[in-house]
Amino acid sequence: MAGKKVRLALIGAGGMANRVHYPSLFEMDDVELVGLCDIVEEKLNETADKFEIQNRYSDYRKMIEEQAPDGIYILMPPHHLFDLVIHSLQQKLHVFIEKPPGITMEQTRQMANLAEANGCLSMVGFNRRYLPAFRKARDIVREAGPINQCVATFYKWHTGGPYYNGAIDVLSCDAVHAVDSLRFMCGDVAKVSSIVRSLGCAFDTSFTALIEFENGAAGVLLANWQTGGREHTFEMHSAGASAFVDGDGEVVINLNGERRAQVFTPQEVAGNDDNRVYYGFYHQSRHFVDCIQTDTQPESNFRDATKTMELVDRIYHSTL
């Protein structure tokens, strides 16, 4: 359908929808927002007014039936996601969802199975993969040779209770960004050893893992929700090249023994100071729309996301 407008229906009028997803779609000349669904009327109307969406619904099934979109954005809490995704795939719609892709690996796998059986394109919003600076850094390191080591860190100071009142765990729901980034850097996983701790909470808050990838590279996950504050960084190394990536700060490249041979910011690479753009949110939606236009499976599709959720499971089940 190259050259035509992609007709998208939208479910959910929450914070992420309004801050990053719908503003990105609204800017795209080849996208038509044909309907919005939310059960909270005030949120529905405020969001629809903001993005000039005429057709408004409290029943997503009715929206799909009446609007017959090409694809659908389903931006719901993870424990409310599965049935909506399955129904949309049964209608043979292309589907975009936020992370996490359900609350279990099995849910993700079943969504992948149905998407493939019905010829649907699918995508999970692992936006870190789509940071322009992260992708540029990976390209630079790969130019020197295969990546032999990678590290993903994610730290927070979490003072609240369990996520969604315990419907889903921290690693599957949020620290999964770091898990997926390891796969983005080094590929499929061979072996895992881990340490999982609660650190005084009534739920797990600390996740340390050593990962051997099928290509022989080594990876390290360092995630901890009982720290001094938010930090989220990535490292990649090959023979002669290293990249240290801070998506909110700067990217440092060391080459052939020269420290800081290249230094650039995420904003510089993206050509934009808006977090929605330089932190990958715009680019992931652009990727999804481009894939619909070219009938190409997105990079972070449901099958690929199943591998990320499987790695989450292996971290839990491979504790020392």
| Phi/psi-derived region of residue 60, left when phi > 0, alpha when psi is between -120 and 50, beta in every other case | alpha
pTM reported for the whole predicted model? 0.97
Residue 174 lies in a domain: yes
Range in 1-15, 78-92, 259-273 the model is least confident about: 1-15
Residue 248 lies in a domain: yes
Check whether residue 116 and residue 42 sit in a common domain.
Answer: yes
Check whether residue 122 and residue 231 sit in a common domain.
Answer: no
pLDDT tens digits along 192-229: 999 999 999 999 999 999 999 999 999 999 999 999 99
Check whether residue 311 and residue 186 sit in a common domain.
Answer: yes
What is the predicted pLDDT for the residue at 320?
Answer: 86
Per-residue exposure over 248-285, b if at least 16 CB sit within 10 Å of its own CB, e if not: eebbbbbbeeeeeeeeebbbbbbeeeebbbbbbbbbbb
Give yes or no for residue 1 having a pLDDT over 70: no
- Give the domain range for residue 118: 6-126
**Within the chain, what is the greatest distance between any pair of CA atoms?**
61
Contact indicator for 11, 37 with CB cutoff of 8 Å: yes
Check whether residue 148 and residue 249 sit in a common domain.
Answer: yes
Residue 226 lies in a domain: yes
What is the predicted pLDDT for the residue at 2?
Answer: 60
What is the predicted pLDDT for the residue at 6?
Answer: 98
What is the predicted pLDDT for the residue at 230?
Answer: 98
